[in-house]
Structure 1
Amino acid sequence: MDRAVNSLVGVGVGPGDPELVTVKGVNALRAAAVVVVPVMDTGERGRAEATVLHYVDASKVVRVVFALNERTDRARREAAWDAAGGRVVALLRARGSVAFATIGDPNVYSTFTYLAQTVGELLPGTEVTTVPGITAMQDLAARSGAVLTEGTEPLTLVPVTAGSAALKEALEGPGTVVAYKFGRLAAEVATALRETGRTEGAVWGSALGLAEESIRPAAELAEGPLPYLSTLIAPAPRHGGRGGKL
Protein backbone atom coordinates (compact mmCIF):
# COMPACT_ATOMS: atom_id res chain seq x y z
CA MET A 1 0.00 0.00 0.00
CA ASP A 2 1.29 3.46 -0.88
CA ARG A 3 1.98 5.75 2.03
CA ALA A 4 -0.47 8.61 2.54
CA VAL A 5 0.51 11.99 1.13
CA ASN A 6 2.64 14.13 3.43
CA SER A 7 0.56 16.89 4.97
CA LEU A 8 1.65 20.37 6.08
CA VAL A 9 -1.00 22.63 7.60
CA GLY A 10 -0.49 26.24 8.65
CA VAL A 11 -2.64 26.96 11.70
CA GLY A 12 -3.44 30.51 12.74
CA VAL A 13 -3.46 30.67 16.54
CA GLY A 14 -4.52 34.28 16.96
CA PRO A 15 -2.66 37.27 18.41
CA GLY A 16 -1.84 35.81 21.82
CA ASP A 17 -4.98 35.06 23.80
CA PRO A 18 -5.31 31.25 23.83
CA GLU A 19 -9.11 31.58 23.94
CA LEU A 20 -9.03 33.04 20.44
CA VAL A 21 -7.83 29.86 18.74
CA THR A 22 -10.69 28.43 16.68
CA VAL A 23 -12.09 24.95 17.27
CA LYS A 24 -10.85 23.96 13.82
CA GLY A 25 -7.39 25.25 14.71
CA VAL A 26 -7.27 23.23 17.92
CA ASN A 27 -8.41 20.11 16.06
CA ALA A 28 -5.69 20.61 13.42
CA LEU A 29 -2.99 21.01 16.06
CA ARG A 30 -4.12 17.86 17.87
CA ALA A 31 -4.49 15.81 14.67
CA ALA A 32 -0.96 16.46 13.40
CA ALA A 33 1.84 14.11 14.36
CA VAL A 34 4.12 17.06 15.09
CA VAL A 35 3.44 20.74 15.82
CA VAL A 36 6.21 23.10 14.73
CA VAL A 37 6.51 26.51 16.35
CA PRO A 38 8.82 29.26 15.08
CA VAL A 39 11.40 30.71 17.46
CA MET A 40 14.07 33.35 17.04
CA ASP A 41 17.70 32.34 17.25
CA THR A 42 17.82 33.89 20.73
CA GLY A 43 15.65 30.97 21.84
CA GLU A 44 12.94 32.60 23.93
CA ARG A 45 9.40 31.23 23.80
CA GLY A 46 7.23 33.08 21.28
CA ARG A 47 3.51 33.77 21.30
CA ALA A 48 2.71 30.89 18.95
CA GLU A 49 4.48 28.38 21.18
CA ALA A 50 2.88 29.74 24.36
CA THR A 51 -0.56 29.48 22.76
CA VAL A 52 -0.03 25.99 21.36
CA LEU A 53 0.99 24.63 24.75
CA HIS A 54 -2.52 25.34 26.04
CA TYR A 55 -3.82 22.66 23.65
CA VAL A 56 -1.12 20.05 22.96
CA ASP A 57 1.49 18.31 25.06
CA ALA A 58 4.98 19.77 24.98
CA SER A 59 6.38 16.42 23.83
CA LYS A 60 4.61 16.93 20.50
CA VAL A 61 6.02 20.43 19.91
CA VAL A 62 9.17 21.01 17.88
CA ARG A 63 10.87 24.41 18.00
CA VAL A 64 12.38 25.52 14.69
CA VAL A 65 14.56 28.60 14.40
CA PHE A 66 13.53 31.30 11.93
CA ALA A 67 15.16 34.67 11.32
CA LEU A 68 11.84 36.27 12.20
CA ASN A 69 13.05 39.86 12.45
CA GLU A 70 15.93 39.76 9.97
CA ARG A 71 15.41 42.44 7.30
CA THR A 72 18.89 43.70 6.46
CA ASP A 73 20.94 40.54 5.87
CA ARG A 74 19.15 38.72 3.06
CA ALA A 75 21.67 35.89 2.91
CA ARG A 76 21.20 35.14 6.61
CA ARG A 77 17.42 35.29 6.23
CA GLU A 78 17.41 32.96 3.21
CA ALA A 79 19.75 30.52 4.97
CA ALA A 80 17.42 30.45 7.99
CA TRP A 81 14.40 29.75 5.76
CA ASP A 82 16.27 26.96 3.96
CA ALA A 83 17.35 25.38 7.25
CA ALA A 84 13.82 25.61 8.66
CA GLY A 85 12.35 24.12 5.50
CA GLY A 86 14.83 21.25 5.62
CA ARG A 87 13.95 20.57 9.26
CA VAL A 88 10.23 20.45 8.47
CA VAL A 89 10.80 18.21 5.46
CA ALA A 90 12.70 15.77 7.68
CA LEU A 91 9.77 15.76 10.10
CA LEU A 92 7.32 15.17 7.25
CA ARG A 93 9.32 12.23 5.95
CA ALA A 94 9.54 10.72 9.42
CA ARG A 95 6.06 11.45 10.74
CA GLY A 96 3.83 12.22 7.73
CA SER A 97 1.91 15.21 9.08
CA VAL A 98 3.11 18.52 10.48
CA ALA A 99 1.14 21.50 11.76
CA PHE A 100 2.91 24.85 11.77
CA ALA A 101 1.53 27.29 14.34
CA THR A 102 1.66 30.96 13.43
CA ILE A 103 0.32 33.97 15.28
CA GLY A 104 -2.58 35.70 13.59
CA ASP A 105 -3.55 34.14 10.27
CA PRO A 106 -1.26 31.96 8.11
CA ASN A 107 -2.15 33.95 4.99
CA VAL A 108 -1.56 37.43 6.45
CA TYR A 109 2.11 38.45 6.71
CA SER A 110 3.01 35.02 8.04
CA THR A 111 6.27 33.10 8.07
CA PHE A 112 4.23 30.10 6.94
CA THR A 113 4.12 31.45 3.38
CA TYR A 114 7.90 31.14 3.01
CA LEU A 115 7.98 27.79 4.77
CA ALA A 116 5.31 26.33 2.47
CA GLN A 117 7.20 27.52 -0.62
CA THR A 118 10.44 25.96 0.62
CA VAL A 119 8.82 22.66 1.58
CA GLY A 120 7.06 22.49 -1.80
CA GLU A 121 10.42 22.76 -3.56
CA LEU A 122 12.19 20.25 -1.31
CA LEU A 123 9.38 17.71 -1.08
CA PRO A 124 7.10 17.97 -4.14
CA GLY A 125 3.66 16.49 -3.70
CA THR A 126 3.28 17.64 -0.10
CA GLU A 127 -0.34 18.61 0.60
CA VAL A 128 -0.35 22.17 1.97
CA THR A 129 -3.44 23.62 3.63
CA THR A 130 -4.21 26.43 6.07
CA VAL A 131 -6.58 27.05 8.96
CA PRO A 132 -7.48 30.74 9.33
CA GLY A 133 -6.84 32.55 12.58
CA ILE A 134 -8.09 35.70 14.26
CA THR A 135 -5.89 38.67 13.42
CA ALA A 136 -4.48 41.36 15.68
CA MET A 137 -6.65 44.01 14.03
CA GLN A 138 -9.80 42.05 14.82
CA ASP A 139 -8.72 41.53 18.42
CA LEU A 140 -7.76 45.19 18.87
CA ALA A 141 -11.08 46.30 17.39
CA ALA A 142 -12.96 44.05 19.82
CA ARG A 143 -10.94 45.14 22.86
CA SER A 144 -10.98 48.87 22.06
CA GLY A 145 -14.45 49.29 20.55
CA ALA A 146 -12.99 50.63 17.28
CA VAL A 147 -15.19 49.72 14.30
CA LEU A 148 -13.07 48.53 11.39
CA THR A 149 -15.46 49.19 8.51
CA GLU A 150 -18.97 50.41 7.79
CA GLY A 151 -21.01 50.35 4.60
CA THR A 152 -18.84 51.05 1.57
CA GLU A 153 -15.67 52.04 3.45
CA PRO A 154 -12.42 50.45 2.25
CA LEU A 155 -9.97 48.89 4.68
CA THR A 156 -6.22 49.20 4.14
CA LEU A 157 -3.65 47.10 6.00
CA VAL A 158 -0.10 48.48 5.97
CA PRO A 159 3.05 46.92 7.46
CA VAL A 160 5.27 49.77 8.64
CA THR A 161 8.46 47.71 8.62
CA ALA A 162 9.69 49.48 5.48
CA GLY A 163 8.86 53.00 6.65
CA SER A 164 5.87 55.26 7.15
CA ALA A 165 5.43 56.62 3.59
CA ALA A 166 2.88 53.97 2.58
CA LEU A 167 1.03 54.50 5.85
CA LYS A 168 0.76 58.24 5.29
CA GLU A 169 -0.52 57.67 1.75
CA ALA A 170 -3.20 55.32 3.08
CA LEU A 171 -4.19 57.77 5.82
CA GLU A 172 -4.81 60.42 3.17
CA GLY A 173 -7.55 58.20 1.74
CA PRO A 174 -11.16 57.84 2.94
CA GLY A 175 -11.18 54.46 4.66
CA THR A 176 -9.98 52.79 7.83
CA VAL A 177 -6.25 52.18 8.00
CA VAL A 178 -4.58 49.46 10.05
CA ALA A 179 -0.83 49.53 10.67
CA TYR A 180 1.10 46.41 11.67
CA LYS A 181 4.59 46.05 13.16
CA PHE A 182 5.07 49.77 13.68
CA GLY A 183 6.63 49.74 17.16
CA ARG A 184 10.12 50.75 16.08
CA LEU A 185 8.75 53.67 14.06
CA ALA A 186 6.19 54.93 16.59
CA ALA A 187 7.33 58.54 16.27
CA GLU A 188 6.94 58.45 12.47
CA VAL A 189 3.48 56.92 12.81
CA ALA A 190 2.43 59.64 15.27
CA THR A 191 3.65 62.27 12.81
CA ALA A 192 1.77 60.68 9.89
CA LEU A 193 -1.46 60.63 11.92
CA ARG A 194 -1.03 64.25 12.94
CA GLU A 195 -0.18 65.50 9.43
CA THR A 196 -3.21 63.74 7.90
CA GLY A 197 -5.61 64.76 10.66
CA ARG A 198 -6.29 61.14 11.62
CA THR A 199 -5.14 61.09 15.26
CA GLU A 200 -8.60 61.54 16.77
CA GLY A 201 -10.37 58.22 17.22
CA ALA A 202 -7.27 56.18 16.36
CA VAL A 203 -6.08 53.55 18.81
CA TRP A 204 -3.00 51.36 19.21
CA GLY A 205 -2.37 48.17 21.13
CA SER A 206 0.31 45.64 21.90
CA ALA A 207 0.53 42.25 23.68
CA LEU A 208 -3.20 41.77 23.12
CA GLY A 209 -4.72 39.19 25.43
CA LEU A 210 -1.53 38.85 27.49
CA ALA A 211 -0.67 40.05 30.98
CA GLU A 212 1.31 42.99 29.60
CA GLU A 213 -1.49 44.13 27.26
CA SER A 214 -1.53 47.84 26.44
CA ILE A 215 -4.36 49.58 24.56
CA ARG A 216 -4.28 53.37 24.29
CA PRO A 217 -5.50 56.28 22.16
CA ALA A 218 -3.12 57.10 19.33
CA ALA A 219 -2.77 60.58 20.80
CA GLU A 220 -0.69 58.90 23.51
CA LEU A 221 1.80 57.31 21.11
CA ALA A 222 5.21 57.42 22.72
CA GLU A 223 8.13 59.01 20.94
CA GLY A 224 10.37 56.08 21.75
CA PRO A 225 10.08 52.59 20.27
CA LEU A 226 7.13 50.41 21.26
CA PRO A 227 6.88 46.60 21.11
CA TYR A 228 7.60 45.40 17.56
CA LEU A 229 4.19 43.73 17.14
CA SER A 230 2.17 46.85 17.93
CA THR A 231 -1.04 47.40 15.95
CA LEU A 232 -2.78 50.65 15.05
CA ILE A 233 -6.36 51.27 13.91
CA ALA A 234 -7.26 54.65 12.44
CA PRO A 235 -11.01 54.43 11.73
CA ALA A 236 -12.45 56.12 8.67
CA PRO A 237 -13.81 59.63 9.28
CA ARG A 238 -17.54 59.13 9.86
CA HIS A 239 -20.21 61.78 9.58
CA GLY A 240 -23.93 61.70 8.98
CA GLY A 241 -25.01 59.40 11.78
CA ARG A 242 -26.03 55.75 11.70
CA GLY A 243 -25.73 54.17 8.26
CA GLY A 244 -24.08 57.24 6.78
CA LYS A 245 -21.67 55.11 4.75
CA LEU A 246 -24.26 52.80 3.19
Structure 2
Amino acid sequence: MEEHKIGQFFGIGLGPGDPELLTLKALRVIKNSPVIAFPIKAVNEASYALSIVSDFIDMERQQLLPLLFPMTKNKEIIKQQWKEATEAVFRYLQQGKDVAFLTEGDPLFYSTFIHLRQYMGLLHPEVAVQSIPGISSIFGAAASLHLPLADGDAQVGIIPATRNKDHMKKAIEQHETIIFLKIAKVLDLLVDVLIETNTLEKAAIVTKATSNEEIIYKNVLDLKGKELPYLSLMVVKRT
Protein backbone atom coordinates (compact mmCIF):
# COMPACT_ATOMS: atom_id res chain seq x y z
CA MET A 1 0.00 0.00 0.00
CA GLU A 2 1.38 3.38 -1.03
CA GLU A 3 2.15 5.71 1.83
CA HIS A 4 1.13 9.32 1.55
CA LYS A 5 3.49 12.11 2.42
CA ILE A 6 2.08 13.97 5.43
CA GLY A 7 0.40 17.23 4.47
CA GLN A 8 1.37 20.61 5.83
CA PHE A 9 -0.66 22.47 8.44
CA PHE A 10 -1.05 26.21 7.86
CA GLY A 11 -2.33 28.90 10.20
CA ILE A 12 -3.65 31.63 7.92
CA GLY A 13 -3.98 35.20 9.14
CA LEU A 14 -6.93 36.67 7.26
CA GLY A 15 -6.71 40.22 8.54
CA PRO A 16 -9.53 42.00 10.37
CA GLY A 17 -12.39 41.56 7.92
CA ASP A 18 -11.87 43.22 4.54
CA PRO A 19 -11.03 40.43 2.04
CA GLU A 20 -8.77 42.85 0.15
CA LEU A 21 -6.46 42.93 3.18
CA LEU A 22 -5.47 39.30 2.64
CA THR A 23 -1.79 38.88 1.82
CA LEU A 24 -0.87 37.33 -1.51
CA LYS A 25 0.71 34.41 0.34
CA ALA A 26 -2.41 33.77 2.40
CA LEU A 27 -4.56 33.81 -0.71
CA ARG A 28 -2.25 31.42 -2.56
CA VAL A 29 -2.21 28.89 0.31
CA ILE A 30 -5.98 29.09 0.76
CA LYS A 31 -6.58 28.42 -2.92
CA ASN A 32 -4.07 25.54 -3.00
CA SER A 33 -5.15 23.75 0.20
CA PRO A 34 -7.52 20.79 -0.26
CA VAL A 35 -8.95 21.27 3.24
CA ILE A 36 -10.07 24.57 4.78
CA ALA A 37 -10.47 24.41 8.56
CA PHE A 38 -12.01 27.12 10.72
CA PRO A 39 -13.22 27.57 14.32
CA ILE A 40 -16.86 27.63 15.41
CA LYS A 41 -18.33 28.15 18.88
CA ALA A 42 -21.43 26.02 18.32
CA VAL A 43 -22.59 23.35 15.87
CA ASN A 44 -23.97 24.84 12.63
CA GLU A 45 -22.82 28.31 13.67
CA ALA A 46 -21.70 30.67 10.90
CA SER A 47 -17.97 31.38 10.79
CA TYR A 48 -16.79 34.98 10.47
CA ALA A 49 -13.36 33.79 9.37
CA LEU A 50 -14.87 31.66 6.60
CA SER A 51 -17.06 34.53 5.43
CA ILE A 52 -13.98 36.67 4.79
CA VAL A 53 -12.61 34.22 2.19
CA SER A 54 -15.79 32.53 0.95
CA ASP A 55 -15.38 34.01 -2.55
CA PHE A 56 -11.96 32.39 -2.90
CA ILE A 57 -12.94 28.82 -1.99
CA ASP A 58 -13.87 26.26 -4.63
CA MET A 59 -16.52 24.08 -3.02
CA GLU A 60 -16.20 21.43 -5.76
CA ARG A 61 -12.48 21.00 -5.16
CA GLN A 62 -11.98 21.91 -1.50
CA GLN A 63 -13.43 20.48 1.68
CA LEU A 64 -14.57 22.53 4.66
CA LEU A 65 -13.62 21.38 8.16
CA PRO A 66 -15.41 23.24 10.98
CA LEU A 67 -13.70 22.74 14.35
CA LEU A 68 -15.78 23.19 17.47
CA PHE A 69 -14.34 25.28 20.30
CA PRO A 70 -17.18 25.96 22.76
CA MET A 71 -17.04 29.03 24.99
CA THR A 72 -16.36 27.52 28.41
CA LYS A 73 -13.91 27.98 31.28
CA ASN A 74 -13.90 24.26 32.12
CA LYS A 75 -10.25 23.36 31.52
CA GLU A 76 -10.91 19.66 31.02
CA ILE A 77 -13.52 20.32 28.35
CA ILE A 78 -11.21 22.81 26.66
CA LYS A 79 -8.29 20.34 26.60
CA GLN A 80 -10.50 17.62 25.17
CA GLN A 81 -11.76 19.93 22.42
CA TRP A 82 -8.21 20.91 21.47
CA LYS A 83 -7.21 17.27 21.23
CA GLU A 84 -10.27 16.35 19.16
CA ALA A 85 -9.69 19.29 16.82
CA THR A 86 -6.04 18.35 16.41
CA GLU A 87 -6.93 14.76 15.55
CA ALA A 88 -9.60 15.92 13.10
CA VAL A 89 -6.97 17.97 11.27
CA PHE A 90 -4.41 15.17 11.40
CA ARG A 91 -6.80 12.71 9.74
CA TYR A 92 -6.50 14.79 6.58
CA LEU A 93 -2.80 15.52 6.98
CA GLN A 94 -1.96 11.81 7.14
CA GLN A 95 -3.74 11.40 3.80
CA GLY A 96 -1.20 13.81 2.31
CA LYS A 97 -3.63 16.74 2.22
CA ASP A 98 -2.59 20.21 3.29
CA VAL A 99 -4.93 21.88 5.78
CA ALA A 100 -5.33 25.66 6.03
CA PHE A 101 -6.76 26.87 9.33
CA LEU A 102 -8.43 30.27 9.03
CA THR A 103 -8.01 32.89 11.73
CA GLU A 104 -9.13 36.50 11.90
CA GLY A 105 -6.21 38.86 12.30
CA ASP A 106 -2.91 37.06 12.87
CA PRO A 107 -2.55 33.34 13.71
CA LEU A 108 -0.06 33.98 16.54
CA PHE A 109 -1.85 36.88 18.22
CA TYR A 110 -4.69 35.85 20.58
CA SER A 111 -5.70 33.16 18.12
CA THR A 112 -7.17 29.67 18.43
CA PHE A 113 -4.40 28.53 16.10
CA ILE A 114 -1.86 28.98 18.90
CA HIS A 115 -3.41 26.06 20.81
CA LEU A 116 -3.84 23.89 17.73
CA ARG A 117 -0.19 24.48 16.86
CA GLN A 118 0.83 23.49 20.39
CA TYR A 119 -1.25 20.31 20.44
CA MET A 120 -0.16 19.31 16.95
CA GLY A 121 3.45 19.59 18.09
CA LEU A 122 2.73 17.43 21.14
CA LEU A 123 0.62 14.75 19.49
CA HIS A 124 2.09 14.69 15.98
CA PRO A 125 5.52 16.32 15.97
CA GLU A 126 6.20 15.00 12.48
CA VAL A 127 3.74 17.52 11.00
CA ALA A 128 5.23 20.64 9.41
CA VAL A 129 3.36 23.68 10.75
CA GLN A 130 3.58 27.09 9.14
CA SER A 131 2.10 30.43 10.23
CA ILE A 132 1.20 33.07 7.66
CA PRO A 133 0.95 36.53 9.24
CA GLY A 134 -2.11 38.68 8.86
CA ILE A 135 -3.04 42.29 9.55
CA SER A 136 -4.32 42.68 13.11
CA SER A 137 -7.70 44.26 13.87
CA ILE A 138 -5.67 46.80 15.87
CA PHE A 139 -4.16 48.23 12.70
CA GLY A 140 -7.43 47.88 10.83
CA ALA A 141 -9.15 49.92 13.55
CA ALA A 142 -6.40 52.56 13.51
CA ALA A 143 -6.86 52.96 9.75
CA SER A 144 -10.63 53.25 10.11
CA LEU A 145 -10.23 55.84 12.88
CA HIS A 146 -7.53 57.74 10.94
CA LEU A 147 -5.58 57.58 14.18
CA PRO A 148 -1.79 57.19 14.44
CA LEU A 149 -1.16 54.71 17.25
CA ALA A 150 2.42 55.69 18.00
CA ASP A 151 5.06 58.17 16.97
CA GLY A 152 8.53 58.93 18.23
CA ASP A 153 9.06 57.47 21.70
CA ALA A 154 5.37 56.95 22.49
CA GLN A 155 4.53 53.66 24.20
CA VAL A 156 1.63 51.47 23.14
CA GLY A 157 -0.07 48.84 25.31
CA ILE A 158 -2.24 46.00 24.01
CA ILE A 159 -4.21 44.02 26.60
CA PRO A 160 -7.43 42.00 26.79
CA ALA A 161 -10.03 43.89 28.85
CA THR A 162 -10.68 42.15 32.18
CA ARG A 163 -12.67 42.68 35.36
CA ASN A 164 -9.49 43.87 37.09
CA LYS A 165 -10.26 47.57 37.31
CA ASP A 166 -6.92 48.59 38.80
CA HIS A 167 -5.04 46.70 36.09
CA MET A 168 -6.89 48.56 33.34
CA LYS A 169 -6.44 51.94 35.04
CA LYS A 170 -2.71 51.31 35.35
CA ALA A 171 -2.50 50.32 31.68
CA ILE A 172 -4.03 53.65 30.65
CA GLU A 173 -1.81 55.64 33.00
CA GLN A 174 1.39 53.95 31.81
CA HIS A 175 0.93 54.25 28.04
CA GLU A 176 0.30 57.08 25.61
CA THR A 177 -1.94 54.71 23.66
CA ILE A 178 -3.72 51.62 24.94
CA ILE A 179 -5.76 49.11 22.93
CA PHE A 180 -8.25 47.03 24.89
CA LEU A 181 -9.31 43.79 23.21
CA LYS A 182 -12.37 41.63 23.94
CA ILE A 183 -14.23 44.52 25.56
CA ALA A 184 -17.83 43.35 25.07
CA LYS A 185 -18.18 41.46 28.37
CA VAL A 186 -16.69 44.23 30.54
CA LEU A 187 -17.81 47.31 28.66
CA ASP A 188 -19.60 49.00 31.58
CA LEU A 189 -16.61 48.51 33.89
CA LEU A 190 -14.30 49.84 31.19
CA VAL A 191 -16.41 52.96 30.78
CA ASP A 192 -16.09 53.54 34.53
CA VAL A 193 -12.32 53.23 34.18
CA LEU A 194 -12.34 55.86 31.45
CA ILE A 195 -14.34 58.21 33.65
CA GLU A 196 -11.98 57.73 36.59
CA THR A 197 -8.88 58.30 34.43
CA ASN A 198 -10.43 61.31 32.68
CA THR A 199 -9.98 59.67 29.26
CA LEU A 200 -13.61 59.25 28.22
CA GLU A 201 -13.21 61.70 25.34
CA LYS A 202 -9.93 60.08 24.31
CA ALA A 203 -11.55 56.69 23.60
CA ALA A 204 -13.17 55.15 20.53
CA ILE A 205 -14.62 51.70 19.86
CA VAL A 206 -14.52 49.79 16.58
CA THR A 207 -16.51 46.61 15.93
CA LYS A 208 -15.60 44.22 13.11
CA ALA A 209 -12.93 46.61 11.83
CA THR A 210 -12.62 47.08 8.04
CA SER A 211 -15.50 44.69 7.26
CA ASN A 212 -18.78 45.74 5.67
CA GLU A 213 -20.29 45.40 9.16
CA GLU A 214 -17.84 47.81 10.78
CA ILE A 215 -19.25 50.33 13.25
CA ILE A 216 -17.28 53.12 14.91
CA TYR A 217 -18.40 54.61 18.23
CA LYS A 218 -16.82 57.85 19.40
CA ASN A 219 -19.27 58.66 22.19
CA VAL A 220 -18.39 55.71 24.40
CA LEU A 221 -20.54 56.81 27.32
CA ASP A 222 -23.68 56.21 25.25
CA LEU A 223 -22.80 52.49 25.08
CA LYS A 224 -23.01 51.87 28.80
CA GLY A 225 -25.56 49.12 29.47
CA LYS A 226 -25.59 48.02 25.83
CA GLU A 227 -24.23 44.92 24.11
CA LEU A 228 -21.47 44.87 21.53
CA PRO A 229 -20.29 42.11 19.18
CA TYR A 230 -17.46 39.89 20.38
CA LEU A 231 -15.12 41.36 17.75
CA SER A 232 -14.96 44.81 19.33
CA LEU A 233 -11.95 46.74 20.56
CA MET A 234 -11.31 50.10 22.18
CA VAL A 235 -8.49 52.53 21.45
CA VAL A 236 -7.57 55.08 24.11
CA LYS A 237 -5.04 57.68 22.94
CA ARG A 238 -4.12 60.04 25.77
CA THR A 239 -1.77 62.27 23.75
Q: Same fold (TM over 0.5)?
A: yes
Deviation, 1:166, is: 2.9
CA displacement, residues 138-172 of structure 1 (integer Å, 9 cap, x when unaligned):
11110111211111111111112565443222011
Matched with 1:203 is 204
Aligned position for 1:39 = 40
User: 2 CA distance for matches of 1:164 and 1:67?
Assistant: 28
Q: Secondary structure at the match of 2:134?
A: coil
Q: Summarize the Cα distance change of 1:83–1:173 in structure 2 as closer, same or farther, 3 Å threshold.
A: same
Cα pair distance change 1:134/1:210, threshold 3 Å: same
1:220, CA displacement in angstroms?
3.6
CA deviation vs aligned residue, 1:12-69 (integer Å, no higher than 9, x gap): 0012221211111101111222111111224221111111212122342423333253
The number of residues matched between the two structures is 236
- Taking only the aligned residue pairs, the percentage that are identical comes to 28
- Give SS of 1:65's match: strand
- Larger deviation: 124-133 or 214-223? 214-223
Taking the TM superposition and a 5 Å limit, the aligned residue runs for 1:79-158 are 79-158=80-159
SS at match of 1:192: helix
Distance 1:158 1:97, change over 3 A: same
TM-score normalised over the length of structure 1: 0.88
Structure 1 range deviating more: 41-50 or 137-146: 41-50
* Pairwise CA distance, 1:123: 1.4
Instruction: Return the match for 1:222 from 201, 221, 224.
Output: 224
Quote the Cα distance in structure 1 between the aligned partners of 2:65 and 2:124: 20
Q: Which residue of 2 aligns with 1:69?
A: 71
Q: Distance in 1 between matches of 2:148 and 2:176?
A: 11
Q: Give the aligned residue type for 1:79.
A: Q
The normalised TM-score by structure 2 is 0.90
- What is the RMSD computed on CA atoms of the aligned residues? 2.0
Structure 2: where are the runs of 5+ without partners?
A: none
